[in-house]
Amino acid sequence: MTPGRALGLALAALLAAGPFLPLGGMKEYGLHVMVQIFIWSFIGGAWSLMGRFRLVSLGHGAFLGLGAYATTLLWNSWGLTPWLGGVLAVLLTAVVAVIVAYPCSRFQVVGHYFALVTLAVGEVVRLLIIAERNWTGGSLGVSLRPAGRDSLVAMQFADKRVFYYAAFVLWLLGLWVWARVDRSMARSAMEAIGEDETAAASVGIHITRFKIGITVLSASLTAVGGVAYAQYISYVNPDTLAGIGVSLRIVFAVVLGGMYSLLGATVGTALTIALGEYLRIVFGLRFIGMAETIYGLLLIVFIIFLPSGIYGSLRDLVQRLRSAPARAEA
Amino acid sequence: MIEPIFLAEAAINGIMLGGILALLALGLNLIFGVIDIVWIAYVDLVMVCMYVLYFVVQVYGWPFWLGALAAMAFGAALGVGVHLLIITPILGSAPVNQLLATGGLLFFLQSFATFLWTTDHKSVRLALPSWEIGGIFLPATRLIPFAISILALAGLYVFLTRTYVGTAIRAVSQDREAMALMGASPQRIYIVTSAVGGLMAGLAGALLLFQYSVHPFFGGQFGPLTFMICVLGGLGNMVGAFVASFVMSEIISIAGVVWSTEMGYVIAFVVFIVMIFARPGGILARRQ
C-alpha cells in the first residue's frame, strides 16, 4: 500500500495548496467548482454509508433540505448563529431519520419499498417547504440574510479560500467517518443484514439498532452537508435542496463512482460536476437544455456499461491485471 | 367551515382524477409486475406523448381523436424502444442500477424536451360543454377522459384475462423462471408488455391533455404519485392499484380544497408511508 499512500498524500498536499496555485483568471471559478465537489462528495459519501448496505434511499434530499433550511431560517428570523443552528438542524434531521428508520426496520421495509418510502419522505419535505411559503419563501427559495462583513459567527466570508479550506476539511472528515465504518464490526453486521435479515437476526445481530444507527449517521452527515452548502451558496431553494431531483443526483454520482470504495463518491461527484460545468460552458445560453440532455444520456450509458462504477471498475481491472498469473486456479 | 357543496364537488373531481391516475398506475404496474423494474421515467414518457398530440393537433391540424391514436402508437413504439435500448442490457444488474438507468432517462427526457420545445406551457383548447347538476359543475373535459379511461381499463382487463398473450403476460409476472422452463421466451413477453405499457402512457397523455397543459417537467407532477399508487395497491396487483388510485385522488382532491394543493399531496404521501408500514403487501393484501 505504500505507493498508494504516497500518491494519496501527494494529492492531499496538492489540494491543500490549491488556492495558492497560479491559476490566473480561472482561480475564483476553479475554487468555486472545487468547493462544490468537496461538499457534494461529502454528501455522496454520507449517502453511500447506507447505500452500500442495500439501504437505497431516494430521499436524502429530505435530510439535505432540513439541514439547509433549518439553519437558514434560524439565522434569518432570530439571528441564531449557524454553528448553533447547524447543531439544531442536525438534531432535527436525526429525529426525522429515526422516525423513518424505526418503522422501516420494524416492518422489514427493504429494497424497492424502502426506496419508495424514502422518495415519499423527500417529496413530503419539499412540498411542506413549498406549502409553508409564508416563512420558507415557498418555491422561490430564501436568501441568507447577509451579515454585512466577514463573520465567523455568521459563517459568512467574502473570500472563497475560507470556504475552500472549510469544505476540504469537511471532505476529509467524511472520508475519515467512511473509513471508520468500513473497518468497524458494524460493517460486518450491516453486510449480514443486507444479505439476509433473518439469518443475521439468528446469529444475534440487533437489526433495528444497526439500521437506525447507520440511517441516523448518514442523515446527520447529509444535513451537515446541507448546512455547508447553504452557507456557501447563501441561498436555499426547495427544488435544488429537497425532493426527488437532488436525491437522484446524489445517488447517480455515487453509483457512477462506485459506492463500495472510499473514494468512489468523490470520483463520481467530481466527474458529474466537471461534466456538468463543461457542458454548461460549451453550450452556454445557446441551446438551453442541451447540456442536461447529454448529461442524462451519459448517465444511462455509464450505468449500462460500468455497473460497478468508474472507480470500482478501474480497481477491478487493476486487481485482475495484478492477479493475472494466479488466475489459473480460478 | 367549508360548504358541503365544495366538498361534494371535490369528491367528484377526485373520482374523475382517479380514473386517469388508475390508467397511469396500471400501465406502470403492468411493466413492474412483468419485468420487475420500476420505470422512474414512466410519466415522462406520458409527457412526450402529450407533446406529440399537441403538435399533430395544433400545428398539423389533425382531429383530436386521430392525434390521440397517433400518440398511443408513438407511446407503444417508445415503450419498446426503452425496453430494447435501456432495460434489456440491465435486466441482470443490481436494483439500484436499474432504478438509476430509468432515472437517467428521466433527466434525458426532461432536458431534451426543454431543448426542443422550451419550458412554455402548451395546451390544446377544446370547445366542450359543461353541465351543472345541483350546483356542481361537470365539465366534459373531465367526464370524457374519465369515461375513456374506465373503458380502457376494462379493455386491459379483458386483454389480460381472455387472450392468449394476456395470459402469458400474467404467467410471467407470477413466475419468471418457470416461464422460461416451459420453453416460452420472456423477452417476447417483455416487449409486448412494454408496448402495452407505452400504449397506455400515450392514452393517459391524451386524456391528461384535456385538462392540463404540457411542459417538460410535467412528469414531476404525477410521477412520484404514480409509483406510490402502485406500491399502495401492491406491486404487480392490478385491482389493488385501481382501488389505490381512487383513494389517493380523493385524498388529494378533498385535502386540496380544505387546505392547499401542496398539503393535499403531503397528506397523500404520508398516508402512503403509513400504509406501507401497516400493509406492506398493498391495501388489498391479506395480513400475514
Residue with cell 373531481: B13
State the average pLDDT over residues A145-149.
79
pLDDT-above-70 percentage for chain B: 97
Say if residues B78 and B206 touch (Cβ distance below 8 Å): no
pLDDT at position A330 is: 45
Distance of CA B197 to the CA centre of its chain: 9
Q: Shortest Cα distance from B88 to chain A (angstroms)? A: 10
Q: Is the CB of B95 less than 8 angstroms away from the CB of A56? A: yes
Give me the pLDDT at residue A23, please: 65
Least confident of A159-163, A217-221, B59-63: A159-163
* Per-residue pLDDT, A329: 47
Out of A113, A255, A297, closest to residue B100 by CB: A255
Chain centroid to Cα A243, Å, comes to 14
With residue B61 as reference, give the H or E element that holds it: none
Q: Give the mean model confidence (pLDDT) for residues A234-248.
A: 85
Can you give the pTM of this predicted structure? 0.85
Amino acid (one-letter) located at A161: R
Whether the predicted pLDDT of B75 surpasses 90:
yes
Does the pLDDT at position A18 exceed 90?
no
Whether A244 sits inside 8 A of B111 (CB atoms) is no
Contact B97/A307, CB-based, under 8 Å?
Answer: yes
Q: Is residue B287 over pLDDT 50? A: no
Per-domain boundaries in chain B = 13-114+140-278
* Residue contact A128–B262, C-beta within 8 A: yes
Q: In this predicted structure, what is the pLDDT of residue B94?
A: 78
Q: What is the pLDDT of residues B10-22, one digit of tens each?
A: 888 888 889 999 9
Distance, in Å, from the CA atom of A35 to the CA atom of A48, rounded to the nearest integer, reads 20
At A235, phi and psi to the nearest 5? Answer: -155, 135
A112 touches chain B (CB under 8 A): yes
Domain residue spans of chain A = 27-242
* Res A96 pLDDT > 90: yes
Is a pLDDT exceeding 70 seen at residue A25? no
Which of A135-149, A210-224, B235-249, B272-286 has the largest mean confidence? A210-224
Q: What is the dihedral of CA A169, A174, A176, A179, to 10 degrees?
A: -160
Compute the nearest-CA separation of A270 from chain B (Å). Answer: 18
Q: Which residue of A has its CA nearest to B275?
A: A117
Among A123-132, A241-250, B124-133, the least confident range: B124-133
pLDDT tens, residue by residue, B173-201: 777 777 777 777 788 889 999 999 999 99
**Band (A160; pLDDT cuts 50, 70, 90):** confident
Alpha-carbon gap, residue B32 to B235, rounded angstroms: 7
The average pLDDT across B235-264 equals 87
Closest by alpha carbon to B216, among B71, B115, B113?
Answer: B113
Q: Tell me: ipTM over 0.85.
A: no
